[in-house]
Every structure is written in C-alpha cells, then in structure tokens.
Amino acid sequence: MRVLLTGAAGQLGQALQASAPAQSAGEALQLIVCTRSELDLTDPQACRQTVLQHRPDWVLNVAAYTAVDRAEAEAELAHAVNAGAPAAMAQALAEAGGRLLQLSTDFVFDGRAGSPYRPSDPVAPVSVYGASKAAGEDAVMAHLPPAQWCILRTSWVYGPVGSNFLLTMLRLHRQRDQIAVVADQVGCPTATAGLAQACWRVIERGVNGIQHWSDAGAASWYDFALAIGELGLAGGLLERAAAVQPITTAEYPTPASRPSYSLLDCTSTRSTLGLLPLHWRTALAQVIGAGVSLPAP
C-alpha cells in the first residue's frame, strides 16, 4: 500500500512516521513523505502533479496553515494551503483513484453548542483559519465520491516537538512567576501519538465520511496550562511551576475569534476505529514522561 504523507516535518507528520505500521490492510506499507520544502501547498498544479506522479492508495494530508491569529491578515495564504491544496489533491485522486484522509479541526464550529459536536453537525467557523479548513472539507467532498474520502476533525493538537501549547507553556513556566491563561474556552487537548494511531487505523480499515477524534475528557486552556505545570514539575522538566491565573477571553483579545466550546463527540469514530482514547491528562503525562524538545532556559 502506497501512502503519500504531506506535512511530514510537522508535529503530527513526525508522529505518523514514527508510528507507521510495516503493513496496512494486509499489504506492505510504502510511505512517501513530503515536507513543505518538497511540496509547495500554495501551488495547485504541484499538488496535483505530486499525486499523479506517485499514484498513492491514500493521501494523508496533515499539512496545514495553522497560525490562527496571523490568518486574519493572511486569508489568501490560509485558504490556498487549507482549501486549495486539498481541492487539487482530490481532483487528482478522482482521476488516478486512491483515497484522501484530510485532517480538519474543531475550529470549523462556532462554539455555541451546549453539548459535544457530532460529525453531522453543521459548521459555522468564526475565524479565517476555521473558514479555510471548512472550505477544505467542502472541496474534498465536492471533488471525490464518498467512498474515496475521510475527513478527520481533531482539537488542540500538541506533541513533544514543533510549535504547540505544551512547549509554549513549559517555556513560560520556566521564565515567569505567573502566567495568565484563558479559562472560558473549553475543548480537549489531543496528543499527536494517539491522533497518529487513529489516522493509521482509518487507513487500515478503509474508513470514510466525517469522523471526530480527540483524547478523552474536557478542559479549558487554563486547565491545560495548570496540568502542564504540575506534570512538568513532577516529570523533572521544570524546577518550579509558575502560578497560573485564569482570565476571560475578553481580557486576552486576539485578532481571531475562537469557539468558546469546541468539544467533539468522538463516540461513533471510536467505535468505528476500535480504539479507546486516553484521558487528555494521562496522554499529557506520557508525552512529558517521554521527553520533549524544549530549548534550554
């Protein structure tokens, strides 16, 4: 089985490579990796030609423009990467055959729900980033028949490498006595290791449709930051933990609006994949315990 992986140098791309199975669906796995320098995601023709050249059984598109606030000023770039690239890949797959696993986000929702979002719930993004990811979903569905695509939405992704909330908070815990973190936005942190496992299971089982995956439980960014300090201290990554002060979204204005509630209902996906998630705090402890790529203070 040939799998073309985009975003190979990113935090999830690295986790996917580290956990790639030797076989998938009974076939030897041949993983073809593309980094940002190897594939210009703003060039639809390059995306199309890459798919037609390799003719993979699956394209695993985890590359994305993820700078949520900067996207407000770079809407064209965000849409090119998050919508234009998957559209071009989907068009190529419609010709060549093969399937597309498109990673998406909880930010396609507006945060007004009173219960976890189901895969069937309508999207209503409140930011350029969210709108660009929703447009990517639409493009995939428009260019491929249902049997050839799977859209996997996830939330608050972090891991031991790259740029993410965990590494930022560890750095701030080292540098400051006090950290102010938003406490009125609720979702669920998702470690790259478990998310990568879910992606490989989608491919192994040939799952299609819209799916939701996150770690278990719920948290605010404040809860997440507090746990990072506690577990970082216990795991020897920190000599001391800063005091974490809960603040409101209004007290920490940002260029992009964010959903105040973006918990995903993953019940059906967990059943389909046959996977039981870790609670987010357990997953966080495992990531910290295994070590992270954090610059020296």
User: How far, in Å, are 76, 154, 174, 280, 296 from residue 72 at the CA level?
Assistant: 9, 21, 30, 29, 32
pTM of the model: 0.96
Q: What is the pLDDT of residue 27?
A: 86
Q: What is the pLDDT of residue 78?
A: 98
Q: How far out from the chain centre does Cα 36 lie?
A: 16
Q: What is the pLDDT of residue 293?
A: 77
Q: What is the pLDDT of residue 295?
A: 60
Compute how many other C-beta atoms are within 10 angstroms of the C-beta atom of residue 95: 11
List CB contacts of 98: < 8 A, sequence separation 6 or more.
51, 55, 56, 57, 58, 59, 148
Catalytic residues: 129
Rounded Cα gap, residues 231 and 248, in angstroms: 24
Q: What is the pLDDT of residue 230?
A: 97
* Cβ atoms of residues 105 and 188 within 8 Å: no
Rounded Cα gap, residues 64 and 78, in angstroms: 8
Q: Tell me the Cα Rg of the chain.
A: 19
Domain 2-155+191-215+264-275 superfamily per CATH = NAD(P)-binding Rossmann-like Domain (3.40.50.720)
DSSP-H helix ranges across 20-152: 44-54, 75-79, 85-96, 128-143
List per-residue pLDDT tens for the chain, 297 residues long. Answer: 999 999 999 999 999 999 999 887 788 999 999 998 899 999 999 999 999 999 999 999 999 999 999 999 999 999 999 999 999 999 999 999 999 999 999 999 999 998 999 999 999 999 999 999 999 999 999 999 999 999 999 999 999 999 999 999 999 999 999 999 999 999 999 999 999 999 999 999 999 999 999 999 999 999 999 999 999 999 999 999 999 999 999 999 999 999 999 999 999 999 999 999 999 999 999 999 998 877 655
What beta strand segments (E) does 121-217 contain? 149-154, 157-158, 178-182, 186-187, 190-191, 209-212
* Cβ atoms of residues 24 and 50 within 8 Å: no
* Cβ atoms of residues 63 and 14 within 8 Å: no
